[in-house]
Amino acid sequence: MTRIVRAELYELTLPLVEPFVISGGAITERRSLIVVLHDEAGHVGYGECPPFELPFYSEETLTGARDLIQRLLLPNVGAREFAAPVPEAMAAVLHDGVRGNWFARAAIETAAWDLEAHARGTGLADLLGERLGVKPAPAVDCGVALGIPPDRNGDVLTRWVADAVERGYRRVKIKVAPGWDAAAVRAAPRGLAGAGTDLPLTVDANGSYEWPRDETALRALDDAGLLYIEQPLHPDELVGHARLAAALRTPVCLDETLRDARAARQVIALNGPKVWNIKVHRVGGLSEVCAIYRLAAEYGAKLWAGTMPESGIGSQAALAAAALPRFVYPSDLEPSSRWFGRNGDIIKLSMDPEGRMAVPRQSCGRLLDPARFRLLTSPVPLGRHEQAEH
């Protein structure tokens, strides 16, 4: 049995080097919540809650997640004992009486995985490999995610793509939206050709197209030689995605639609898309990742790891997932400097010149600098009930 003796909540704000624009909105800084769990043996686990402040990506927002973590989720896990395996036991408690709210649950659930990693002197990837009976890779391929340029300028996108190739990324992803698609897939390959490479190119619509209204535009993307088309339709359009996948030559990739293993089972029943983007926090944590992974193995789906992006704390979970064998496409994991500048992150992520990122074999508590953590975070006071529990 493992007893949680203290739980803490912090706010983390990391300014972005430049605004990041997708079809639904733009962000200029990365605000998130950090959960820290302590057990009676002195081990510590860190988890991140990274939804956006406005609901343009998902229904869940940072304010709502904070409220739920403070008032319900932390009280439910504080000052109680969990049987091994602790992360799975805690995931069951976090589901009790809670629908949705994936990001809020993932913050605590991934902290429990990190707590186990700290106690066992290993990393998250090794724990996942142990649970799934597979061997994680020592490093993962990194892909770049490029937003929509200011004024939707194709020359700017061409330059961005060429710069990304020069930095060593193994895949280029560009954001598209109705009215910014044909021009985007003309501009991006110019950057690849100018750099003398044939790196795979993908597009991500973040659910901005409607089915069947935008069928013509989506069929035009089918002629662009893309590796896959990510989340073209609204997250709830399971049938539409299945029909679109059957109609196009280019594989369709699911992101926001793939909320959890329940959604994955429906995709399989519909003989839907076989490329899945797994974002650990979007699906509620690493226990759910394991469930989806097993379904993907049965269905033959190909996986890759997406990001929100998170800080270096939350990215440890994404790195661990990306190291699993079925994660065959380059991830969205990028060096910390790309988003937050040099030495701006709380755990620094680095990419080698070949576009690969090493998978840590240590927990967050052994990777982060406590002094830097204190500098970049501010504690969130917990209510009377939570403080009494902890």
> What is the DSSP annotation of 205-267?
-TT-B-TTTTHHHHHHHTTS--S-EE--B-TT-HHHHHHHHHH-SSPEEESTT--SHHHHHHH
Q: Which of the residues are catalytic?
A: 175, 279
Q: What is the pLDDT of residues 104-156, one digit of tens each?
A: 999 999 999 999 999 999 999 999 999 999 999 999 999 999 999 988 999 99
d(CA 308, CA 311): 9
Residue 270's identity, in one-letter code, is L
Q: How far is CA 357 from CA 125, 316, 336, in A?
A: 13, 11, 11
Tens of pLDDT, residues 259-302? 999 999 999 999 999 999 999 999 999 999 999 999 999 999 99
Per-residue model confidence (pLDDT) at position 197:
82
| Local structure of 156: helix, strand or coil | helix
Least confident of 21-30, 235-244, 303-312, 348-357: 21-30
> Could you give the CA distance from residue 71 to residue 383 in angstroms, rounded to a whole number?
7
Q: Using one digit for the tens of pLDDT, what is the confidence trace for 167-202?
A: 999 999 999 999 999 999 999 999 999 777 889 999
Residue burial 29-47, b: 16+ Cβ < 10 Å; e: rest: ebebbbbbbbbeeebbbbb
Tens of pLDDT, residue by residue over 228-259, are 999 999 999 999 999 999 999 999 999 999 99
For 48-98, write each residue's pLDDT tens digit: 999 999 998 899 999 999 999 999 999 888 878 999 999 999 999 999 999
The model's confidence at residue 18, banded by pLDDT at 50, 70 and 90, is confident
In total, the chain counts a number of residues equal to 390
- Distance (Å, rounded) from C-alpha 145 to C-alpha 288? 25
Instruction: Judge whether 33 and 9 are in contact, CB under 8 Å.
Output: yes
Distance CA 240, CA 227 (A): 20
Q: Give the residue ranges of DSSP H helices in the chain.
A: 62-68, 74-77, 86-95, 102-120, 124-132, 154-167, 182-194, 215-221, 238-247, 261-269, 286-299, 315-322, 336-340, 364-367, 370-376, 384-389
Distance from the Cα of residue 359 to its chain's centroid: 16
Decide: 22 and 346 in contact? Cβ < 8 Å.
no
Rounded percentage of the chain residues whose pLDDT exceeds 70: 97
CB 347 within 8 A of CB 315: yes
Measuring CA to CA, how many Å separate 152 from each of 148, 174, 194, 231, 236? Answer: 6, 12, 20, 20, 28
CB 267 within 8 A of CB 257: yes
212: pLDDT confidence band, cut at 50, 70 and 90?
confident
Give the model's confidence band at 211: pLDDT under 50 very low, under 70 low, under 90 confident, else very high: confident
Q: Cβ neighbours of residue 168 under 8 Å, at least 6 residues apart?
A: 142, 351, 352, 353, 354, 355
Burial 305-316 (b: 16+ CB within 10 A, else e): bbbbbbbbbbbb
| pTM greater than 0.85 (yes/no) | yes
Give one word for 168, left, alpha or beta, with left for phi > 0 and alpha for psi -120 to 50.
left
180 bridge partner residues: 177
pLDDT of residue 313: 98
How many CA atoms, within 13 angstroms, populate the side-chain half-sphere of residue 328? 12
